[in-house]
């Protein structure tokens, strides 16, 4: 569908555009209306229409002034149609000067408007295909420039990449490498997973470019990364957990930060070092660079890996004595030659990642949230920047307690489990608790109590959460208006939908959509 903005200061004309024209039948969607040129400019900035249909005579800023502002000030290349009740040659001349695509006289004739729309659809589709092709070519050129800096280096390669990426010597950079731990069978679409990861957890305005440094290994150059290291790492881990990375045989190696593209070889070396120091083997999950380390000579990687696995097993078993013993055994092995405590911190980071993987494996209901995973993330990061035996032991004991708490929770009843599956499959339908309870032969009161006991929230709130999750997808992936999304999801009152969306996400639907449209990563 092509997006259309209609601009006219007469309400009955606006109503005519809404009711007389078969927009969808011609391949268009009416994405908005405006009553004068200044209001139209704000709408154009917000929705980026493919076609602007405007009256000539309007207050504040007339139609020709609007088109002039679009072309000369905003640089907008949307197709334009002038509509006027005046057939003077002067208007037509002025319209042609600004390369207006069509000039239509009032009163509106539906057949004539449909013919104009169909005539413009071909050029619009050609331009869309050309822009998509150009976008792919730009991304491919950016990826080649990044690989050129990594493999060849030199001032010329850096200068060329700076021109393509819009960077300079002050641009903060970070490199992420991703690979499958399952071999080539699990290596498809790594760049799209990297993009999803960045979208799931990071701020508006952060830019990222994908590249392939070696076959089967996807890379991501992250630019303008203004968050400090601790915040970046915490958000990366949370995003990876939400995306279930540890469950999909994927490993992510994340470098530190540096300024300027000439630092990329060094950052690549950091990411590669994370792969090389495989003291725990190539495990799925997030690996963060915290400085160069050398494993003490007395430590064999397989011994360290075995003791780390013993510790995790003790945590899963809930055996406090075994946990304390395993912590002492692991740290005793690492103590030799670890004067700075770097290897101890690295071991703690690995153990923490393994625990998150175990917790993610227990996730049965994403809509109910991962509160216990968030609790571990929140409670397992010591106030000081250093890990000690005491903080590691406290982490492991707390994790054992949380895992035991989670495992001891009563299993989800068949009725509630099937109800959740039904809700997910029919999230856009009107669903009532009473009808769903009757489906399973239960009283609505008992079913509602059981549902809240096993999901942690009441039935209606659970349905709202599912619908708002679906709304977020539609806002990111479609050009539907907020009101249309509200109707699609069963909300007949757009204001009520907006209130629910803000209550569950912390922002308005329009702000969420604009922010997601502003974010960029390489495979989008």
Same domain, residue pair 101 and 77? yes
Same domain, residue pair 399 and 425? no
Same domain, residue pair 330 and 400? yes
Task: Determine, yes or no, domain membership for 295.
Answer: no
Same domain, residue pair 20 and 46? yes
Asked if 63 and 73 touch (Cβ cutoff 8 Å), the reply is no
CA 475/CA 358 separation, integer angstroms: 32
- Three-class DSSP category at 288: strand
Instruction: For residue 185, give both structure tokens.
Output: 């069978």
CATH of the domain at 167: 3.30.70
Asked if 216 and 258 touch (Cβ cutoff 8 Å), the reply is no
Over the Cα atoms of the chain, what is R_g?
29
Instruction: For residue 208, give both structure tokens.
Output: 């990222």
Which residues form the domain of 332?
Answer: 301-408
Model pLDDT, residue 360: 57
State the total domains in the chain. Answer: 4
Task: Determine, yes or no, domain membership for 131.
Answer: no
CA 57/CA 54 separation, integer angstroms: 9
Same domain, residue pair 305 and 369? yes
Question: Which residue bears the tokens 């994790």?
Answer: 399
Same domain, residue pair 308 and 245? no
DSSP annotation of 108 reads P
Asked if 162 and 261 touch (Cβ cutoff 8 Å), the reply is yes
Same domain, residue pair 307 and 432? no
Task: Determine, yes or no, domain membership for 252.
Answer: yes
Task: Determine, yes or no, domain membership for 122.
Answer: no
Cα–Cα distances (Å) from 328 to 27, 61, 308, 392, in that order, read: 68, 76, 11, 10
Reading the chain (524 residues) residue by residue, the pLDDT tens digits are 899 999 988 888 888 898 888 998 889 999 999 988 888 888 888 888 999 998 887 877 778 888 888 888 888 888 998 887 765 556 656 666 667 888 888 888 888 999 999 999 888 888 887 777 776 777 788 888 888 888 887 888 898 898 888 888 888 888 988 877 665 544 446 666 666 666 655 655 577 888 876 766 788 888 865 555 556 666 776 666 666 555 466 778 888 888 889 999 989 888 887 777 644 444 666 777 766 555 555 566 567 667 878 888 888 888 888 888 888 888 777 665 555 565 666 666 667 666 666 665 554 444 333 445 555 555 555 443 456 777 778 878 887 887 776 665 444 467 787 888 888 888 888 888 888 888 777 778 778 888 887 788 888 889 999 999 889 888 888 888 899 899 888 888 888 899 999 988 888 998 888 877 644 333 33
pTM (global) more than 0.75: no
CA 502/CA 518 separation, integer angstroms: 19
Task: Determine, yes or no, domain membership for 291.
Answer: no
Same domain, residue pair 383 and 421? no
CA 88/CA 26 separation, integer angstroms: 29
Residue 362, phi then psi, degrees to nearest 5: -90, -5
Model pLDDT, residue 68: 84
CA 163/CA 168 separation, integer angstroms: 9
Q: How far out from the chain centre does Cα 299 lie? A: 40
CA 80/CA 95 separation, integer angstroms: 10
Q: Which of 330, 341, 354, 335 is nearest to 382 (CA)?
A: 341
Question: Which residue bears the tokens 């708490």?
Answer: 405
Q: Strand ranges (DSSP E) for 160-276?
A: 172-180, 207-214, 217-223, 250-259
Same domain, residue pair 404 and 419? no
Domain boundary among 233, 250, 283: 283
CATH of the domain at 15: 3.40.50.2300
Domain boundary among 227, 256, 283: 283
CA 479/CA 53 separation, integer angstroms: 18
Same domain, residue pair 100 and 154? no
Cα–Cα distances (Å) from 199 to 63, 186, 202, 246, in that order, read: 38, 21, 6, 18
Task: Determine, yes or no, domain membership for 327.
Answer: yes
Instruction: For residue 311, give both structure tokens.
Output: 């510790």
Q: What residues contact 75, with CB distance under 8 A and at least 6 apart?
A: none
Same domain, residue pair 235 and 266? yes
Same domain, residue pair 469 and 512? yes
Determine how β-strand 217-223 pairs with β-strand 207-214: antiparallel
Domain boundary among 60, 80, 108: 108
Task: Determine, yes or no, domain membership for 137.
Answer: no
Task: Determine, yes or no, domain membership for 134.
Answer: no
Model pLDDT, residue 3: 92
């Amino acid at each position: 569908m092509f997006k259309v903005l209609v601009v006219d200061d007469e309400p009955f004309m606006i109503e005519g555009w809404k009711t007389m024209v078969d927009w969808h039948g011609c391949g268009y969607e009416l994405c908005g209306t405006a009553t004068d040129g200044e209001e139209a400019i704000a709408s154009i900035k917000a929705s980026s229409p493919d076609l602007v249909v405007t009256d000539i005579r309007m207050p504040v800023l007339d139609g020709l002034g609007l088109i002039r502002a679009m072309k000369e000030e905003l640089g907008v290349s949307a197709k334009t149609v002038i509509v006027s009740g005046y057939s003077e040659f002067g208007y037509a001349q002025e319209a042609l000067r600004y390369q207006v695509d069509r000039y239509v006289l009032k009163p509106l004739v539906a057949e004539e408007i449909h013919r104009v729309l169909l005539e413009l659809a071909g050029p619009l589709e050609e331009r869309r295909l050309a822009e998509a092709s150009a976008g792919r070519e730009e991304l491919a050129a950016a990826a080649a420039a990044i690989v050129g800096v990594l493999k060849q280096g030199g001032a010329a390669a850096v200068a060329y990449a700076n021109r393509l990426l819009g960077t300079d010597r002050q641009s903060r950079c970070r490199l992420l490498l991703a690979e499958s731990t399952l071999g080539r069978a699990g290596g498809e679409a790594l760049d799209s997973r990297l993009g999803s990861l960045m979208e799931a957890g990071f701020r508006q305005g952060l830019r990222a470019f994908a590249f392939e440094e070696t076959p089967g290994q996807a890379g991501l150059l992250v630019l303008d990364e203004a968050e400090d290291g601790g915040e970046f790492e915490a958000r990366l881990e949370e995003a990876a957990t939400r995306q279930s990375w540890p469950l999909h045989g994927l490993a992510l190696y994340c470098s530190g930060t540096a300024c300027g593209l000439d630092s990329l070889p060094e950052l690549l070396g950091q990411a590669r070092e994370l792969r090389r120091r495989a003291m725990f083997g190539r495990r799925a999950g997030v690996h963060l660079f915290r400085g160069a380390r050398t494993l003490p000579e007395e430590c064999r990687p397989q011994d360290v890996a075995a003791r780390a696995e013993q510790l995790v097993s003790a945590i899963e078993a809930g055996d406090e004595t075994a946990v304390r013993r395993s912590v002492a055994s692991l740290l005793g092995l690492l103590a030799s030659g670890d004067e700075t405590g770097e290897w101890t911190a690295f071991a703690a980071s690995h153990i923490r990642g393994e625990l998150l993987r175990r917790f993610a494996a227990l996730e049965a209901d994403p809509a109910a949230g991962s509160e216990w995973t968030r609790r571990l993330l929140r409670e397992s990061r010591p106030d000081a920047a250093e890990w000690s035996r005491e903080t590691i032991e406290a982490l492991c004991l707390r994790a054992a307690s949380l895992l035991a708490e989670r495992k001891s929770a009563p299993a989800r009843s068949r009725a509630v489990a099937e109800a959740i599956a039904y809700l997910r499959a029919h999230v856009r339908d009107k669903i009532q608790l009473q009808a769903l309870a009757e489906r399973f032969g239960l009283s609505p009161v008992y079913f509602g109590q059981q549902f809240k006991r096993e999901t942690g929230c009441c039935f209606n709130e659970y349905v709202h959460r599912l619908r708002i999750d679906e709304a977020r997808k539609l806002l990111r992936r479609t050009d539907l208006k907020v009101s249309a999304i509200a109707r699609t999801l069963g909300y007949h009152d757009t204001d009520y939908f907006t209130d629910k969306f803000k209550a569950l996400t912390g922002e308005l639907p329009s702000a969420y959509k604009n922010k997601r449209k502003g974010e960029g990563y390489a495979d989008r």
